[in-house]
Structure 1
Amino acid sequence: MKKLRRAWIYVCAVLISLFAVGPFLWMIATSLKPPGDIYSMPLNYLPSAINTGGYKAMLNPSADDNLNFVKWFYNTTVVSLLTTLFSIIISALGGYSMSRFRYRGRMAIGYLILITQMLPGSLLIIPLYIIMKEYQLLNSHIGLVIAYSTVAIPFCTWMLKGYFDSVSYSIDEAAMVDGASRLVTFIRIILPLTLPGLVVTAIFSFLTSWNEFLFAQTFLSDYGKWTLSVGIASFQGQYVVNWDYLMAGSVMTTLPIVVAFWALQKYLVSGMTAGAVK
């Protein structure tokens, strides 16, 4: 009975894994199909011949005047890294303040931060657009970083507060007794102890800006300043869809995230379970 139950668990795990990985495998297969295979009936699940035209076009902008994948990739990387850095610095300071200091309205501020996560991003477009227009930040990557940070910082602040709460305050007291200032204690002792939590929140902030489409489409108008999400979406026209470009670009956009998850998986597991057991 125990072996049957274990076999059933393995079967369920395999099916769930295939369900999760299936779209990515389908995307890779479609990116390698010749155009005839994409529209063939009955549908070919595997390419009849390997077609790398989409990938060559992505990496060779001169092949198509309307394609600049390398530039979009660079723009997205810069915006995502700046958003992550900006969000983590502010969130770590805010989360530490809410965790360690006792002042009037502390929890009210925390709940207010949490409530902002209940608002859809579409509600923020108009006020953010007006503010950016006022300060001449439209069509700039700095303006986009600020817009992304308004989404990432509240969540990261609340998450990091939980991680800081899991670190005993006696550690802070011991460091300050030894002569360390509050800032030195925060940077050299508390932050290393909460490294898994920092990695998890950093990845969330990075993914928020890497995959975001609505803000990027609204606030960026110049072709050369587009991010990957906007650029790849342009492959889908009103009458024609360049599936080879679309799928190849999507695969190349997804790969950095897959590599990041693989490289940081030990921090992800420990970070997501940090504080679960007191």
Structure 2
Amino acid sequence: MASLFSIGLRSWTGRLPVRLLVLMLLLTRPAAAAVAPDSTTQATIRVLPADNNPALRLRQPDAERLRELRGQRDFRYVEVKSELSAWDMLWLRFWRWLAELLATPSGKFIWQYGIYAFLVVALVFVVLKLMQVDLTRAFGRAPRRAALSYDAETEDLHALDLDVLLTQAEEARNYRLAVRLGYLRVLRQLSDKGLIKWQPDKTNHDYLYELPTGPLPESFRELTRQFEYVWYGEQDDLTADDYERARTTRQAFERRLSSTSQAA
């Protein structure tokens, strides 16, 4: 019976893998042998001596050095208020917005071809000025023709009796025509005194640039502004009060012109 049991046990254990047998042998070892301290480990454990050094002393920085560092701008960690005014900040925001807009593809296109368009317009403007083209008539409505006894486009200041024509226009209450005739009389006076060189194809602003420096150019500019507003603006509904204001401006210029000529 015992021999049969031993034979059966040997046949069953012979079927187990070798690794499983090794694992079973390891598990059957005493736990004390697994955790027993090694002599080498005990030799490396040392007891550190007690720290007998005195307490550390906090070293204070030099006061003079601190004052020097406080005076430097790099060590001033404070928020500096902007010195720009509200108007400057508005322009700053505008230019920043414009820069962001021009950075887009559409903005780059407009910037690139907008410069060319501006240069073309400027070139056309210079050419028209050199050709002495009246831009008021070129880009605005042509003034309606008043009932004149002469051609306004080819009128000769020295061939017309402007004083008589002006009196007739005032008596007929044709105030728009009277403003024009009064302005032409001023141009004739300037031409007679040698202050301008009158030509039929010149513009009113050409005569303004020909006047010498002094009080005359500013007064003539105001007189020209009133004339162009009435004549080219087709102000047919001028009242007597409106014409009186325009005539007062013209007479004041004529008196200033007379006093300037006498002083010269």
TM-score, normalisation: structure 1: 0.24
The TM-score normalised by the length of structure 2 is 0.25
Higher helix share: 1
